[in-house]
Chains A and B, each alone.
Chain A
């Protein structure tokens, strides 16, 4: 049971959602946008989040869009991870998303909800970073389109009242070779010690990581090193470690040393397979 009351709104348009948010915020209702809502529901039950109004985005058609066109794919922020997986629209995203939580939970968890999660993992962001996606963001001054690398800097940099509407991905990335590896401490379900996603293009392989540091990331500097085929794999991984954007995470799931080991072994395996 959620131990406090809130009102529920289900706007049908982007403009209505933003206007609602601003009005409710002015009234001091601490509004929250609700997509899948799984994280809000669980945090609310534990009194770790508070709101007096939730604005459900699933009634907005643009947030539920799913399309492949000649130039780009459109992925609505309120699509569930199961819908994306089953659509096979972007196999790398489908595969990475299918490692999050469990199948039934993925019938509720949405793409937008996962990448805006308060948790550190946000694994669905990895394919979107690798594919240089654009994001459509709606806010009080209208909708804007910007590269994901600009919007996602350790977390989504959204202004008050803004929400994610869609991701736009160049269709040429759709069927590129990819890998998605999730290493957990135990069992088939759970948070990752590390998740690694890769996407291979004409100019080399791209790498993105979750669980290694306190935020998911893609680093072009690390990619340059890992693509230096003239260097031994172990040396590339050692140099890559020197360029991590933050210290390796240490928590009850895994110490930093263990995470480092898992990351190294996973990269060794991936590079060996990719270069075989």
Chain B
């Protein structure tokens, strides 16, 4: 089937099987390889993107479910406050989980700019970092929240 997706502010088309997961269509059909496959089971959060502004594990969503919605991947963020904070706080080591963490944190900062520690912790529990950079990641997110900087565009 021909699928049209609104990804990172662009309308993209792809020929897909209805059974294709959003993760695979973003990577294989649209070349957005910043969306990382991890467990493919909804556990690790490496494949997190935002859909209508909400973080979503793209391995748990059919691509056809994203039709008529706005999808944003790490490629759609350009020098966002969350990205800068991750660099400044050294909030990664190998970096594989980083796009997922950043997309989740980006959505959090947009939807809950005054999130308390418990909320930040709850949201970050959706992602796994095998290098265990959790403290630095939490510091980065809290730095963005406390700075009061607006997050970059959120296409919903």
Select one of B20, B41, B54, B122 contacting A107, CB under 8 A. Answer: B54
Q: Does A189 touch B at the CB level, under 8 Å?
A: yes
Contact B42 A105 (CB under 8 A): yes
Interface size band for A: 20 to 34
Contact B45 A104 (CB under 8 A): yes
Known A-B contacts A103-B122, A103-B125, A188-B125; the reply to A42 vs B60 at CB < 8 A is yes
Tell me which residues from 1 to 59 in chain A have a Cβ below 8 Å from any Cβ of chain B: 1-2, 4-8, 36-38, 41-42, 44-45, 54, 56, 58
Q: Does B104 touch A at the CB level, under 8 Å?
A: yes
Contact B40 A37 (CB under 8 A): no
Q: Does A101 touch B at the CB level, under 8 Å?
A: yes
- Complex interface: chain B residues within 8 A of A37 (CB): 60-62, 65
- Complex interface: chain B residues within 8 A of A102 (CB): 45, 125-126
Contact with B along A71-97 (1 / 0, CB 8 A): 000000000001000000000000000
Contact A104 B55 (CB under 8 A): yes
Q: Does A249 touch B at the CB level, under 8 Å?
A: no
Tell me which residues from 106 to 135 in chain B have a Cβ below 8 Å from any Cβ of chain A: 122-123, 125-127
- Complex interface: chain A residues within 8 A of B64 (CB): 8
Q: Does A108 touch B at the CB level, under 8 Å?
A: yes
- Complex interface: chain B residues within 8 A of A6 (CB): 18-19
Select one of A44, A82, A104 contacting B57, CB under 8 A. Answer: A104
- Complex interface: chain B residues within 8 A of A5 (CB): 17-19
Closest CB in chain A relative to B49 CB, distance in Å:
10
Contact A101 B42 (CB under 8 A): yes
- How far apart sit A7 and B16, CA to CA, in the bound complex (Å)? 11
Q: Does B97 touch A at the CB level, under 8 Å?
A: no
Contact A1 B60 (CB under 8 A): no
* Closest B residue, CB atoms, query A187: B125
Tell me which residues from 42 to 61 in chain B have a Cβ below 8 Å from any Cβ of chain A: 42, 45, 48, 54-57, 59-61
Contact A1 B104 (CB under 8 A): no
Q: Does B21 touch A at the CB level, under 8 Å?
A: yes
Contact B19 A104 (CB under 8 A): no
- Complex interface: chain B residues within 8 A of A107 (CB): 54-56
- How far apart sit A130 and B62, CA to CA, in the bound complex (Å)? 34
- How far apart sit A1 and B41, CA to CA, in the bound complex (Å)? 11
- How far apart sit A103 and B42, CA to CA, in the bound complex (Å)? 11
Contact A41 B62 (CB under 8 A): yes
Q: Does B24 touch A at the CB level, under 8 Å?
A: yes
Known A-B contacts A37-B65, A42-B42; the reply to A105 vs B60 at CB < 8 A is yes
- How far apart sit A82 and B56, CA to CA, in the bound complex (Å)? 12
Select one of B17, B21, B40, B126 contacting A105, CB under 8 A. Answer: B126
- How far apart sit A7 and B127, CA to CA, in the bound complex (Å)? 31
- Complex interface: chain A residues within 8 A of B45 (CB): 102, 104
- Complex interface: chain B residues within 8 A of A101 (CB): 42
- Complex interface: chain B residues within 8 A of A189 (CB): 125
- A-B complex: 8 closest residue pairs judged by Cβ atoms: A104-B126, A8-B18, A102-B126, A2-B19, A104-B55, A38-B60, A107-B54, A8-B64
| Extra contacts besides A38-B60, A103-B122, A105-B57 (7): CB < 8 Å | A1-B21, A5-B17, A42-B41, A103-B55, A103-B126, A104-B48, A108-B56
Binding site for B on A (CB under 8 A): 1-2, 4-8, 36-38, 41-42, 44-45, 54, 56, 58, 82, 98, 101-105, 107-108, 188-189
Binding site for A on B (CB under 8 A): 17-21, 24, 40-42, 45, 48, 54-57, 59-62, 64-65, 104, 122-123, 125-127
A-B residue pairs in contact (CB < 8 Å), sample of 10: A8-B62, A37-B62, A42-B41, A56-B65, A103-B55, A104-B127, A105-B126, A107-B54, A107-B55, A108-B60
